[in-house]
Amino acid sequence: MQFTFSMEESPEGKHIANFVFAFGDFYDEVSLPVTVSDGRVFIDSTPTLFVVDPDSLIDDNTIQLFQTENLTLSGVVLHDSQPTTLIEDYHVVSKVVDAYYNQTGDDDDDVGMFALPPLLWFDSKTGVLTRASVQFSDVLLNKLGVSFITGHYELVDYSENLNFTLVRMSPSLWELIILPVFIIGFVLVVFFAYRASKKKKRDKRKTYSNKSLKFYILSNIQRCWCTYGS
C-alpha cells in the first residue's frame, strides 16, 4: 500500500492538494483546493493529518488533530525520535505524537470504528507527517471513499525542498565489539573443552585398553528458521 500527499502553490497564493492512493490493483487520486491557516491545511474546513503546525510540536503539549461531528482526535507530543524509513537504512528525525479519540456526539458507531488511535511522527521544522502507525484516517482518504487504513506506513521518498533530517544508523557498540568478542570467546571455550575431553578419553582408553569399546550414534538434528517481512 502506498500513498502520496503533495501541495502546489499558484502565483496568486492559492493552494492545491494532491493525494494518490494505491493498493494492489486499486488506484485513485484526487486534487482539490485547500486553505492554509495557522500551520494547518484545511479541506472543506477539516484539517488533514499530513501537516500540523510545527510550532505546536513541543514535548508534553496536547494538540487537536481533527474533529468530526462525533469524534475528536487529539494527541500528546512525546519526544524526539528517529523512526525508520524505506529509504535504505536511514531514519528521519521527528516528533512522536500519541493520539487518542474523544467522543463528542451520541453516535457510538464512529467510536467503535476508530478503536485503535494512531501513533504519528512529524517533522519538527515543517510539521509534515513522516510516519504513521496502527489505524489511520484522513479527510483526503475519505474523499476517495476510504474510511480508514491499518498498518505501519514509512517514508518512501520526499521532495528536496522539505529538507528532512535523515540519519544513517551506525552499528551499536554491542554489534561492533562486544558481540564479536563474545563469539570468539565462546568458540575458544568450546575448542579447549573439546581438546580436554578428547585427551581425557584418550588417556582413559590407554588405562582401560582391555575393556570393550561402545559406540553411541546420535541422530542428526534438523534446524529450521522463519523469515518475516512487511
33 has a pLDDT exceeding 90: yes
Q: Alpha carbon of 177 to those of 58, 89, 169, 173, 181: distances in Å?
A: 37, 21, 16, 6, 6
Is residue 114 within 8 A of residue 107, CB to CB? The reply is: no
Domain residue extents for the chain = 47-168, 173-206
Q: Would the CA dihedral through 182, 187, 191, 193 be positive or negative?
A: positive
Is residue 75 within 8 A of residue 65, CB to CB? The reply is: yes
C-alpha–C-alpha distance, residues 1 and 23, integer Å: 5
| Residue showing cell 484539517 | 47
Tell me the pairing of strands 94-103 and 71-81.
antiparallel
Tens of pLDDT, residues 132-145? 998 888 999 999 99
* pLDDT at residue number 213: 37
Range 108-132 average pLDDT: 80
* pLDDT at residue number 219: 34
List the grid coordinates of 101.
479519540
pLDDT: which is higher, 227 or 148:
148
- In SS3 terms, the chain reads as CEEEEEEEECCCCCEEEEEEEEECCEEEEEEEEEEEECCEEEECCEECCCECCHHHCCCCCEEEEEECCCEEEEEEEEEEECCECCCCCEEECEEEEEEEEEECCCCCHHHHHCCCCCEEEECCCCCEEEEEEEEECCHHHHHCCCCCEEEEEECCCCCHHHCCCEEECCCCHHHHHHHHHHHHHHHHHHHHHHHHHHHHHHHHHHHCCCCCCCCCCCCCCCCCCCCCCC
Single-letter amino acid code for the residue at 160? E
Tens of pLDDT, residues 153-198? 999 999 888 889 999 976 655 555 676 776 777 777 766 676 766 6
Tens of pLDDT, residues 9-21? 888 889 999 999 9
Tens of pLDDT, residues 51-106? 999 999 999 999 999 887 777 889 999 999 999 998 888 999 999 999 998 877 66
Is residue 84 within 8 A of residue 154, CB to CB? The reply is: yes
Is residue 140 within 8 A of residue 32, CB to CB? The reply is: no
C-alpha–C-alpha distance, residues 9 and 86, integer Å: 28
